[in-house]
């Protein structure tokens, strides 16, 4: 995997500086320029979005900003808040010249499987298969489109299990990944314990097996963390797991390689604040300091749709909120850290719920949309 990442980065050219076609009120050029002015010189930039993961205008802006970070600022890797497994499978398919566009779509997942983002995903595929861009995922969760994980993990866990448990573990993991529970095999406490023991023992065994490829080891460890987190008493949260995966990629890239992380604003924040756990952005900032940039996204109101569910309203923000204050008479606003400091403490739903805080402590820039638009989704493949 290290050799593959190095090859992708070494031959990187520039992505076309084009965003997502088709979104209404697409992000104006000053929005992308404002974000670049704030974070172009950073090594790792985390681009947020609302926790609902369903806003077309935010998606459009992020795609355009990502294009510009690559084209104008030398960013060479894009990592998604998406399952790591199918991105590893996609990287191997790229290496063997067998990758297909559907492989990348499945890796990216349903949140961003929107019609508006389809041209951009196609350009990502072209750039990655031509060795001009490295792509990856940082989440340990397994999604419904994680087809590579569904095929590979049961065999990997079986191979890393003892002879007496190999078959049972393969079947247990297969049931979980396909969620084929029934009266004969319910998802009860005994099944959960069996799943956790199979996943954790396989990951621990693989960690000390030098014959295994690093991608196999990281897949097993991620699945074990995912299963562990569903059990009482487990302390590692999802942000910590995503942080470990981000560091795993950084450790395998040339020093100071510039990386975009496509994530949610609650994970991008450089400070914990009212969040229940320390976010990914704060964790990586502890490691890299001011080489980390964080960009928050929020909206005054509009519509949202998560993974093709029916569109729902985003309630209008209160009159005294950041969202209402900075978008009066405009469709977009871009606030760099200087403007955020000047505003001072103000209520915003940047972290999901309205709280008052000084947002320059959290973000290098904040993008505010006046009226969000629900995306449209391509049929499931």
Contact 253, 5 (CB under 8 A): yes
Average pLDDT for residues 275-292, to the nearest whole number?
A: 97
Q: Is the pLDDT of residue 3 over 80?
A: no
pLDDT at 19: 38
For every residue of 325-369, DSSP letters joined together read HHTTT-SEEEEEHHHHHHH-EEEE-TTSS-EEEEGGGT-SEEEEE
pLDDT in tens, 297-308: 999 999 999 999
Of 317, 372, 326, the residue nearest 60 (C-alpha): 372
**Which element (helix H / strand E) includes 176?**
helix 166-178
Residues 348-361, buried b or exposed e (16+ Cβ, 10 A)?
Answer: bbbbeeeeebebbe
For every residue of 200-222, DSSP letters joined together read HHHHHHHHT-TTS-HHHHHHHHH
pLDDT at 211: 87
Contact 257, 250 (CB under 8 A): yes
pLDDT at 381: 54
pLDDT in tens, 207-232: 999 888 999 999 999 999 999 998 87
Contact 15, 130 (CB under 8 A): no
- pTM, to two decimals: 0.92
Q: Residue 113: pLDDT band by 50, 70, 90 thresholds?
A: very high
Q: Is the pLDDT of residue 10 over 50?
A: no
Contact 351, 239 (CB under 8 A): no
pLDDT at 236: 80
Of 195, 188, 207, the residue nearest 165 (C-alpha): 195
Percent of the chain with pLDDT strictly greater than 70: 93
pLDDT at 23: 41
Q: Residue 27: pLDDT band by 50, 70, 90 thresholds?
A: confident
CA 159 to chain centre: 29
Q: Is the pLDDT of residue 44 over 90?
A: yes
Which residue bears the tokens 């940039």? 293
pLDDT at 25: 56
Higher pLDDT, 7 or 172: 172
Q: Residue 261: pLDDT band by 50, 70, 90 thresholds?
A: very high
Question: What gap in Å lies between CA 149 and CA 152, rounded to an integer?
Answer: 5
Question: What gap in Å lies between CA 211 and CA 233, rounded to an integer?
Answer: 32
Which residue bears the tokens 């790591």? 84
Average pLDDT for residues 161-169, to the nearest whole number?
A: 96
Q: Is the pLDDT of residue 235 over 80?
A: no
In this structure, the strands spanning 365-372 and 332-336 are antiparallel
pLDDT at 270: 96
Q: Residue 378: pLDDT band by 50, 70, 90 thresholds?
A: confident
Distances (CA, A) of 213 to 2, 5, 151, 288: 11, 14, 17, 28
Structure tokens at 351: 């972290």
């Amino acid at each position: 995997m290290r050799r593959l990442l190095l090859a992708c980065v070494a031959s990187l050219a520039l992505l076309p500086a084009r965003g997502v076609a088709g979104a209404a009120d697409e992000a104006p050029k000053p929005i992308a320029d404002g974000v670049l002015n704030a974070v172009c010189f950073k090594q790792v930039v985390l681009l947020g979005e609302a926790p609902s993961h369903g806003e077309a205008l935010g998606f459009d802006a992020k795609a355009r900003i990502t294009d510009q970070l690559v084209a104008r600022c030398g960013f060479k890797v894009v990592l998604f808040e998406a399952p790591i497994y199918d991105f590893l499978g996609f990287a191997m398919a790229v290496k063997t010249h067998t990758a297909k566009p559907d492989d990348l779509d499945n890796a990216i997942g349903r949140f961003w499987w929107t019609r508006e983002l389809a041209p951009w995903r196609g350009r990502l595929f072209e750039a990655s298969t031509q060795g001009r861009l490295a792509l990856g995922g940082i989440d340990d969760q397994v999604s419904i489109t994680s087809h590579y994980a569904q095929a590979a993990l049961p065999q990997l866990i079986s191979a890393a299990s003892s002879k007496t448990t190999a078959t049972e573990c393969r079947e247990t993991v297969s049931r979980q990944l396909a969620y084929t529970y029934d009266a004969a095999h319910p998802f009860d406490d005994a099944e959960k314990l069996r799943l956790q023991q199979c996943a954790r023992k396989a990951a621990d065994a693989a960690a000390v097996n030098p014959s295994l490829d690093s991608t196999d080891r990281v897949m097993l460890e991620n699945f074990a963390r995912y299963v562990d987190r569903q059990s009482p008493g487990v302390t590692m949260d999802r942000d910590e797991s995503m942080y470990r995966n981000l560091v795993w990629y950084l450790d395998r890239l040339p020093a100071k390689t510039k990386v975009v992380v496509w994530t949610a604003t609650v994970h991008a924040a450089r400070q914990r604040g009212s969040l229940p756990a320390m976010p990914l952005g704060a964790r990586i900032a502890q490691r890299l300091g001011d080489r980390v940039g964080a960009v928050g996204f929020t909206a005054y109101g509009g519509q949202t749709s998560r993974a093709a569910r029916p569109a729902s309203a985003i309630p209008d923000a209160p009159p005294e909120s950041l969202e209402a204050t900075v978008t009066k008479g405009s469709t977009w606003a871009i606030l760099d850290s200087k403007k955020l400091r000047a505003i001072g403490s103000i209520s915003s739903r940047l972290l999901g719920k309205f709280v008052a805080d000084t947002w320059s402590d959290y973000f290098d820039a904040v993008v505010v949309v006046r009226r969000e638009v629900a995306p449209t989704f391509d049929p499931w493949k």
